[in-house]
Structure formats: structure tokens, C-alpha cells
Amino acid sequence: MAISAIQVENLEFPAVVTSPATAKAYFLGGAGERGLMIEGKFIKFTGIGVYLEDKALESLADKWKGKNSQELQETLDFYRDIISGPFEKLIRGSKIRPLTGVEYSRKVMENCVAHMKSVGTYGDGEAAAITKFAEAFKKVDFPPGSSVFYRQSPDGILGLSFSQDGTIPEKEAAVIENKAVSEAVLETMIGQHAVSPDLKRSLAARLPVALNEGILVPN
């Protein structure tokens, strides 16, 4: 199948990206908006895109090939297999409305810590990793269109990078070596208490076709 780009408000998420930090190509699994209800009105703050290594399809196919979008959307294990699968993920979070790094990271950290505590994976190592996460965002501001990139490797490394647009920086601003924290970031986006149901729907809509037909990703 031909993987297509996705438009979220004024943000475009290309079909395929190559990270200069890793020299790897990733295809767009799905993208969607994140917002909050404020005084009865849904306010959109960010667009989130989840990119996957091409070997993700082989990993997911054994269990999920042949399932339709509705089945996947209703199955938490499908999203958990994306979160913890043995393949690299690259997540782009781009801003629709301006936010400071402290404002943005505070909510991400609150959600991550709440999840880790709920599943019993929060300890001293995770607390130290969260502190390092907070430090990385202290001097960052996010005007509309700017982005944070999370590189999640299967061995538990979380690479952070920041851009004033949608381009991937050549160097990562911080590297956090903690598997529980790394997985918690994506868990809060597409897991049980997802901040972006729109992103979950997008993944469930696009991946069945990719699993059934395969895709071509340039090296």
C-alpha cells in the first residue's frame, strides 16, 4: 500500500521521515489531535504523529493481521503491542497553540507518573528519569508549529529533540535510559487513558491495510 501523509489542523505529518540522528526511515502509523474541554469547548493544543520502523509490521502481523479497524480500536492489547513492540518508534508532537516547555512537560510527566504508579513500575530510577525529562524542557518554548520528537528504542532509550517546525534535528537534546518512562510516554497517548483518542482511531484505521498489504519504506 502507499502510505499517505496526514493533515492535523495546519500541521502536516509526512508519510515517511528519516531521522538524521539515527539515519533510519519511519512510516506514519497514525496521527491525531490532542485537546482539552475548557468551559464546554474543545480546544486543540497539539497534533501527534506516531512513526514506526518498517519491521513493526512483521512484529504486529502475527497477532493482528486480518483484524478490522473496529476490532483493533476496541482492543487495548493492540495498542500495548505498539507501545512495547521490539521496534523503534518516533513520535512527533507539534503545537497548534503556543505552550512553554514547562507547561507541556508538566502534564506529560503527571500522566506518565500516574500510569507507572498504577502498574507498579515507578521507583527511584523512574523518579530520576522523570527529573531528567523535566530538565530537558526547562529552557524550551513551543510556538505554533514547533515540535518535540520522542525516539523510543526497544532497549528502553528515550531520545528527546526539539524543533521550531516539523523537521527532525540532527542531534538529540537529551537521552533518557529508562524503559518504564519511555513506554509510559506513548502509553499516555494511545493506551488505556489516552490523551488522544483521535490518534488511536487513526492507528486503527491505517494499520490493518498496512498489515494486510505491506508497505514500501525507503532505506
Which residues have a catalytic role annotated?
Answer: 34, 46, 95, 104
The stretches of 65-196 forming alpha helices (DSSP H) are 69-73, 76-84, 101-119, 124-137, 179-190
Note whether 149 and 90 are within 8 A (CB): yes
* Radius of gyration, CA atoms only, the chain: 16
- Is 79 within 8 Å of 200 (Cβ atoms)? yes
User: Which residues are bridge partners to 49 per DSSP?
Assistant: 31, 92
Distance CA 35, CA 55 (A): 31
Separation of CA 113 from chain center: 17
Pairing of strands 41-52, 89-95: antiparallel
